Amino acid sequence: MHPYQYIPATNITEAVSALARYGNRARILAGGTDLLVQLRGERYELDAVVDAKAIPELVELTLDGGLTIGAAVPCYQVYENLAIAAAFPGIIDAASLIGGIQIQSRASLGGNLCNSTPSADGICPLIVHSGVVTITGVDGTRTMPVEEFSTGPGRNALGNGEMLISINLPKPAAHFGAAYQRFIPRNEMDIAVVGVASAITLDATGQKVESARIALASVGPTPIFAKQASEFLAGQTATEETFAKAGAIASTEATPISDMRGTIKQRHHLVEVLTRRTLVQAVRRARGNA
């Protein structure tokens, strides 16, 4: 393994200038549950890792209607917060199933997003909760919707010297619910064959869908925002039949491959099933009887 320096950054400017100085020879260290495995496996070499866990903005977790999740906040801090769990159920589903307890002590949703695997469990829930990322580099700060962040397997919108600061989720509307489910061969500690996140806003009667957002994991080169299935649901009655139709549409938006974890056919099928199930669960949560 190539030796690397450890740079403990205490503010964003320090971190960004270290990233700029080392070019692609340095990366941010959040929980290290991807980074340290990859370095040890010699997937790439670095000359420095920049520890972001002492930067205030990166460890911020603020619920003020909306939710700000600092990029390095470990999963357990998110799911142990009962107020967050109540308002952002899709995020909690993901944070509590990434790895086991040891991994959740360190792994962050920011790291999950920046690692940018199509199978990441954290990204689709952030998409359906309408998350927006804040990115800072030497040239300043910009924002973008989470669904635009991943650009390919292991690739994302971060330019050289840029880092993720936080993920901001807007305050959910009244009668809002969300859920994330994945299919894995085991009960825990495995990589999703398919994952689906759904979020739904019902009208005041709780019977009609006002709007919905669906996102798919592990069925394309990036997590996929299923735009057509999401748009189809607006104005529909919230029944299982409607949700099955949405599942069929979502399946046409998936572009899976066959690999050791599953075939194309199985993955299309799983998208249908999990879309329906997550919508049913999201509706139960929206009606307040999860």
Ligand X SMILES: Cc1cc2nc3c(=O)[nH]c(=O)nc-3n(C[C@H](O)[C@H](O)[C@H](O)COP(=O)(O)OP(=O)(O)OC[C@H]3O[C@@H](n4cnc5c(N)ncnc54)[C@H](O)[C@@H]3O)c2cc1C
The span from the CA of 187 to the CA of 201, in Å, is 29
* Contact (Cβ atoms closer than 8 angstroms) between residue 87 and residue 175: no
Min. distance of Cβ 286 from ligand X in angstroms? Answer: 25
32-40, 84-92, 219-227, 244-252 -> range binding ligand X (CB under 6 A): 32-40
Min. distance of Cβ 39 from other proteins in angstroms? Answer: 8
The span from the CA of 53 to the CA of 9, in Å, is 8
* Contact (Cβ atoms closer than 8 angstroms) between residue 153 and residue 255: no
The span from the CA of 121 to the CA of 195, in Å, is 7
Residue type, position 132, single letter: V
Select the residue interacting with other proteins from 64, 187, 204, 205 (CB under 8 A).
187
Select the residue interacting with ligand X from 16, 34, 178, 224 (CB under 6 A).
34
Contacts (CB under 8 A) with other proteins, residues 19-58: 29, 31-33, 36-37, 39-41, 49, 51
* Contact (Cβ atoms closer than 8 angstroms) between residue 249 and residue 229: yes
Min. distance of Cβ 9 from ligand X in angstroms? Answer: 10
- 270, with CB counted inside 10 A (0-12, 13-18, 19+), is buried
Site string for ligand X, 66-105 (x = CB under 6 A): -----x-------------------------xxx---x--
Binding site for ligand X (CB under 6 A): 27-35, 37, 52, 71, 97-99, 103, 106-108, 110-112, 114-115, 120-122, 158, 163-164, 189
